[in-house]
Amino acid sequence: MIPASFQIRDLTIRPAAVLAPMAGVTDTLFRRVIRGLGGCGLLMTEFTSSEGVTRSAQKTLRYLFFQEDEHPITAQLFGANPAVMADAAKMVEDLGFDAVDINLGCPAKKVVKCGGSGLLRDLPLLENIFRSVRAAVKIPLTIKLRAGWDENSIVAVEVATLAESVGVEGIAVHPRTRTQGYSGAADWSIIAAVKQAVKIPVIGNGDINTPEDAARMVRETRCDAVMIGRAAATNPWIFAQMAQYASTGRYDTPSDADRHRLLSGYYREIKAANQPDSIGKMKQFACWFTHGVGNGSELRQKVHAAKTPSEVLESVERFFESRAAAGAGRSAVADNNAPEELRAARNEDLAHGPSQHARVETAVGT
């Protein structure tokens, strides 16, 4: 089963479940939804540009806003300049984050030129970044990496041992290569190999869609914790389900009423935040979340047709009211009427935007 907790130096994370950083998704509003549902031990920010942080760019710094009830929380940075990464990490520490993470996984073309998975091709530069950031901060330092650039350069174990040798204190492994993106199956054996190679905590990530998947990953890889990304956007209850499964061997699935409350409440928070990308964020979330809702395609169409956040909220209210009136109270997660649609949702690259309708202009992450 999923471990009850794990340690990154003096930082206790309980339970051993981590929300993956996803650009355009894991802002403070979404993180607090996850925290409120329970079962997630560690939150992570959207993947954030170190250059933007050190320039104090207003848009970039917005990604680092968090509330006190989000602790423990990690800020994830990307970049390729050791000095700039160090300065940005120090700013993260000064903002009160519990840890700082270096992104070595983003496969987006515009990111690999200045960090992300592109750094997996330059281990000497990577070592300089690790050393510079480690020297700059006192809080725990972690990394999130892919298996390698392509199938001919699987460097996860090499990077992990290098990171441990210079003071990195935790490693999250997404066992796909940069060229794979999010296609194909995640090779969990790479997570197991990293776990065998280092003594610091290893967090497994990739292809966890159910509590059973999480338990199987821990069993097969011996990882210290699991990290959930895309599945949390289609099913925000997954962390709570994992915790329930770990303690009882079973878990509840949300009803239509549960989904109505969560979607309506989350959208109201987005509307109240009054950010420039509010309508885009609502449409983006609808692309994923409604794949678990019976007749979700109808709701997606209504949301995408809306022109304002208020219209989105009205569409959500009318949709669920009509379903309740029709007596459609079955479990949303167990809805098997559109399995191909649900599989498509899980295969979308949530870190970089799932569709042209829901494109949100933010930094991109893993």
What residues are labeled active site? Answer: 106
Spell out where 90-178 has E strands.
99-104, 141-148, 170-177
From 6, 10, 20, select the one nearest 186 (Cα to Cα). Answer: 20
Question: Encoding tokens for residue 58?
Answer: 């207003």
Residue 346, classified by CB atoms within 10 Å of its CB into exposed (0-12), middle (13-18) or buried (19+), is middle
Residue 72, classified by CB atoms within 10 Å of its CB into exposed (0-12), middle (13-18) or buried (19+), is middle
Instruction: Report the alpha-carbon distance of residue 234 to residue 322 in Å, rounded.
Output: 22
Mode of pairing for the β-strands spanning 202-205 and 225-228: parallel
DSSP alpha helix (H) spans, 198-335: 211-221, 230-234, 238-248, 256-273, 278-289, 296-305, 309-325
Q: Are 196 and 164 in contact (CB under 8 A)?
A: no
